[in-house]
Structure 1
Amino acid sequence: MTIAVENGYRRLSVGPFRRRIHLRSVILCGLLGLLVVAMALAAAPLGSHEAGFADLVTVIFDPVHATGDGHAIIREFRLPRIMLAVLAGAMLGLSGAAMQSLTRNGLADPGLLGVKEAASLAVIGLIVFFPTASPVLRPFVGMAGGLFSALLVVFIAQDLSRMRFVLVGVGLSWLMAAALSIILTTADIRDVQTAMVWLAGSLNTASWDIIPIALVCAIIGAAILFLTAGAADVALLGDQAATGLGVRLRHLSILRFVAPVLLTAACVACVGSLGFVGLLAPHMARLAIRGNQTALLTGSALFGAALVLAADTIGRIAFAPLQLPAGIVLSIVGVPVLLLLLRKRRNLL
């Protein structure tokens, strides 16, 4: 292993693997990761039922003796909910950063291609027409709907040219939203109540059965984005320069299109529609961490995880025993933050 210093970057070489690392970005990402871990540990004992920090320590380090009610609450309800919040936020942060990079538009959002609406439509259809279906089926149905929407956008647009497929995606999202409204206004009121809570972005149904599905999707999507991060940095120089440097732009566009679609569809299918995360997290990463695509993706994932985890924790404890869906809290907090970011970056957008 060798390390060389070049213009503030550390060039790390381990056999055939070579990567430029900016020390400041690494430190900031590390601190942000520790903050997310601290938030998760602080959130686990909080809630409307008794469970202390000692119960959390016992569940983590001595699970054999974790047999009390407080232990059960943390192990069966709060830990999977916290883990799902972190995964969902990270997936939306990654997909938002990738979409903004692909379209070169700072206002691009993971739901730009109708993926959110299509995934929501598929899951709501499952809830309304098959109310006895297991919640574990929702991620699979939602991902199928989201992927179908993305393929339909590509088929109609015929290519991945930025303006064309964005406009097709926006139009398709309106169509999906209209179909969703029709279902909600004609379905049984009891099914509609369940659907509306889920649609608001709720983690109430979080369980250990859903975690592996979200984790696998997060790993696959993140792997695609991080492995293509170097080529994405080159692509930002322009099509001619990138082609001259050996970047296959078509292949790169397809990969960085598929990954956000997978991440967004999986997130929506698992926890419902969480607004603003995919839009805000990349901007927060650019302001705090900067750096190349690798640093941006890492920072966006961590900021997204922190946003969703904070929103879900606030929703759980602010009006306990009543719980606000994380999506509502994110909307309340996200609008003023978005306006502030737009003001700070008004000369760049």
Structure 2
Amino acid sequence: MSRTSLRAGLHPLRLGFFSALVRPRALVWLAMLVALALTLGLFGLTQGTFALPSSSLGRALFQPDSLSAEARYIVQDLRLPRLLMGLLCGAMLGMAGAAMQSLTRNGLADPGLIGVKEGCSVAVLLLIFQFPAVGIVWRPVAGITGGLLTALLVVVLARDISRPRFILTGIGVSWAFAAGMGVFMTTADIRDVQTAMLWLAGSLHAANWTLLGMAAGWALPAFILLLCTCRAADVAQLGNPTASGLGVRPARLAMLQVLAPVLLTAACVSCVGSIGFVGLIAPHMARFLLRGGQASVLSGSAVLGALLVLVADSIGRLAFLPLQLPAGIVISLIGGPFFLALLWQRRDRF
């Protein structure tokens, strides 16, 4: 290994045929964040309207038959799917935001800020209320279609995804879709409006094993796609001419880096509704804590995104008992000031 790599803090990691240069400091941070998420998740399993003693947590997870029917139902069918769904959706949104920021080379980029979430939401709401007999397995299909069409519209209008105009165009498109949803809210049946409002707020209360499996099935190929393009994404940061000279195809890479975030965002929105700002906040936190290349940022964004959603859902579920506040609202309370701070920091670049 070269002295330059050692001075940069990189050390070789070999697992069979796999080898990579890693930063031990980044691995330590990732391990600490994962441990924090697991600790918070286990704590959340014991807390709620029905409190479960910490001493019986192990039995609830590994010997559920030893518990009462009520306790088993609360842990196995309500809290555990909700916990895992929050972790998965947070990881999906964190990785989607990191990939979008890498592609556009803009720290303000996020699937929610370029209208993808709104496009997905409109498509899913259309499916729910116009075709109620269609099963929930078709929701991600509708959401992905709406998200891809929205992303394509923004790209066509902005003409250049690497300039701030791309983000501003996306915000305008998202407002247009939000206005369309506002028309629906004012003209639809009040029962449909209540259902739509709870879903749009980004609540995890309806999480179950079916939705969790569906989200994981759509997220897994997108995760693999992003991780397989990490090295090409690092090279692409040098500029298109240099990347082309080094064997990277910028156009194909850009297509993959748009497709994967849309898949992740659409799957998340289809299952739990719109949870904003996670894809904006998590990559910035990952770059600050872990530094490094795209693999490091993607991994850190996934862990931090999962942690953000888990914290937000825990606050919304436990801080206002017996009422519950959707995780999307709690995240928005944090993300709004964060976005304004980023805009102020980049005020001379527009």
Q: 5 Å matches for 1:122-271?
A: 122-130=123-131, 135=136, 137-153=138-154, 156=156, 161-163=161-163, 169-271=170-272
Q: 1:135: how far off?
A: 4.9
Structure 1 distance, partners of 2:238, 2:337, is 32
Q: 1:15: how far off?
A: 6.1
Structure 1 distance, partners of 2:91, 2:228, is 17
Q: 1:105: how far off?
A: 0.5
Query: Is residue 313–residue 327 contact of structure 2 (8 Å, CA) maintained in 1?
Result: yes
Query: Is residue 65–residue 72 contact of structure 2 (8 Å, CA) maintained in 1?
Result: no
Query: Is residue 3–residue 11 contact of structure 1 (8 Å, CA) maintained in 2?
Result: no
Mind listing any 5+ residue stretches in structure 2 that lack a counterpart? none
User: Could you report, residue by residue, the CA deviation over 1:275-294 in whole angstroms, capped at 9, with x for unpaired residues?
Assistant: 11110011111111111111
Length, aligned pairs only: 347
Change (3 A) 1:276 1:168: closer
Indicate whether 1:279 and 2:280 are aligned: yes
Change (3 A) 1:137 1:207: farther
Q: SS where residue 112 of structure 2 aligns?
A: helix
TM-score when normalising by structure 2: 0.89
Q: 5 Å matches for 1:1-349?
A: 6-7=6-7, 8-13=9-14, 17-130=18-131, 135=136, 137-153=138-154, 156=156, 161-163=161-163, 169-339=170-340
Query: Is residue 111–residue 117 contact of structure 1 (8 Å, CA) maintained in 2?
Result: yes
Comparing 136-145 and 320-329, the one that deviates more = 136-145
Q: SS where residue 82 of structure 1 aligns?
A: helix
User: Could you report, residue by residue, the CA deviation over 1:303-324 in whole angstroms, capped at 9, with x for unpaired residues?
Assistant: 1101101111111111111111
Q: SS where residue 278 of structure 1 aligns?
A: helix
Q: 1:219: how far off?
A: 1.6
TM-score when normalising by structure 1: 0.89
Comparing 304-313 and 67-76, the one that deviates more = 67-76
Q: 1:227: how far off?
A: 1.0
Mind listing any 5+ residue stretches in structure 1 that lack a counterpart? none
Structure 2 distance, partners of 1:343, 1:162, is 20
Structure 2 distance, partners of 1:61, 1:345, is 50
Structure 2 distance, partners of 1:191, 1:60, is 36
Of all paired residues, the percent bearing the same amino acid is 50
User: Could you report, residue by residue, the CA deviation over 1:172-200 in whole angstroms, capped at 9, with x for unpaired residues?
Assistant: 33332222121111101111011001101
Q: 1:55: how far off?
A: 4.1
Change (3 A) 1:130 1:218: same
Which residue identity lines up with residue 279 of structure 1 in the other structure? L
Q: 1:3: how far off?
A: 12
Q: 1:134: how far off?
A: 5.3
User: Could you report, residue by residue, the CA deviation over 1:20-49 in whole angstroms, capped at 9, with x for unpaired residues?
Assistant: 111111111111111111111111111112
Structure 2 distance, partners of 1:324, 1:136, is 26
Change (3 A) 1:236 1:37: same
Structure 1 distance, partners of 2:51, 2:176, is 46
Change (3 A) 1:46 1:344: farther
Structure 1 distance, partners of 2:121, 2:260, is 18
Change (3 A) 1:280 1:250: same
Structure 1 distance, partners of 2:284, 2:215, is 24
Change (3 A) 1:3 1:131: farther
Structure 2 distance, partners of 1:180, 1:150, is 18
Change (3 A) 1:23 1:92: same
Query: Is residue 55–residue 71 contact of structure 1 (8 Å, CA) maintained in 2?
Result: no
